């Protein structure tokens, strides 16, 4: 994938992600116990982040497209970022929605979506989510 196309996808995915996630929430699946979400989010990120590390090292932009689909499927299964399941803790929803941008920003450090503090906020929320997962 060429660098200009990758930059374009990064901008588009960051701008559209909240809107798309709100549209794909499934009401029938929103009845899941919000208390189970931290463990599910930590498990999801635990599977994705090693794959993302490889993609970052190899500058593999295709990983991010496929991972976005997996992230949307995961969030859909929880009624994530919608009024269907508002009790999901932000300390876990935010790292799920931000991990791809954090990874893309490691490839494209000057992209508009790579705002200062993004990585620190991601790391902090992921740690909080892991703590919540450990309490259940």
Helix boundaries (H) for the chain:
3-23, 37-58, 61-77, 90-107, 118-135
| Residues 33, 45 contacting (CB under 8 angstroms) | no
- The pLDDT, as a whole number, for residue 33 is 87
| Alpha carbon distance, N-terminus to C-terminus of the chain | 42
Structure confidence by residue, pLDDT tens digits, 97-120: 999 999 989 888 888 888 889 999
| Residues 85, 30 contacting (CB under 8 angstroms) | yes
Q: Which residues make Cβ contacts (< 8 Å) with residue 23, sequence separation at least 6?
A: none
How many residues are listed for the chain in this entry?
136
pTM given for the model: 0.74
- The pLDDT, as a whole number, for residue 128 is 96
- The pLDDT, as a whole number, for residue 83 is 59
**Alpha carbon of 112 to those of 44, 67, 97, 125: distances in Å?**
26, 20, 17, 22
Compute the distance between CA of residue 123 and CA of residue 47 in angstroms, rounded to an integer.
16
Low-confidence ranges of the chain (pLDDT < 70): 1-31, 81-84, 136
Domain ranges of the chain: 3-135
């Amino acid at each position: 994938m060429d660098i200009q196309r990758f930059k374009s996808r990064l901008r588009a995915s960051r701008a559209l992600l909240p809107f798309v996630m709100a549209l794909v929430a499934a009401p029938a699946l929103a009845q899941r116990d919000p208390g189970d979400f931290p463990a599910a989010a930590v498990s999801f990120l635990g599977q994705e982040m090693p794959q993302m590390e490889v993609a970052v090292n190899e500058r593999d932009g295709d990983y991010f497209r496929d991972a976005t689909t997996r992230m949307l499927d995961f969030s859909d299964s929880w009624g994530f970022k919608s009024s269907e399941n508002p009790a999901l803790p932000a300390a876990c929803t935010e790292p799920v929605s931000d991990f791809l941008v954090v990874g893309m920003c490691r490839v494209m450090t000057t992209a508009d979506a790579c705002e200062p503090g993004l990585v620190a906020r991601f790391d902090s929320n992921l740690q909080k989510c892991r703590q919540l997962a450990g309490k259940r």
